[in-house]
Amino acid sequence: MKYLGIARKKKGQVIMPDTFKEVEGKLYEVIEVGGSLLLIPSPLNRERLARIERLAQLSIKEHRKTLEGLAR
């Protein structure tokens, strides 16, 4: 995993941090999960999307107490 920095939303567009320029030219699928945006390298087929959804739900379930604590 590599931390790229903080993205911001401005006039309906997501502005990525300067470090994201290292991956210029690639296409990404954007998925919203519980208010969080995930950028996934394209192409994204149904099987891959279903797997991402299952893993995200599992992770949320396993870490719900921690996530709720962070939300406060």
In a domain, 34, yes or no: yes
Could you tell me the residue range of the domain that residue 49 belongs to?
Answer: 8-71
In a domain, 40, yes or no: yes
Q: Are 27 and 39 in contact (CB under 8 A)?
A: no
Q: Are 29 and 39 in contact (CB under 8 A)?
A: yes
In a domain, 1, yes or no: no
- The answer on pLDDT for 54 being more than 70 is yes
pLDDT at site 41: 79
The overall pTM is greater than 0.75: no
pLDDT at site 4: 73
CA distance 29 to 58: 21
In a domain, 3, yes or no: no
In a domain, 23, yes or no: yes
pLDDT at site 28: 80
Number of domains in the chain: 1
- In DSSP terms, 40 is beta-bridged to 29
Residues 12-26 pLDDT 10s: 888 888 777 766 677
Cis peptide before 43 (omega within 30 of 0): yes
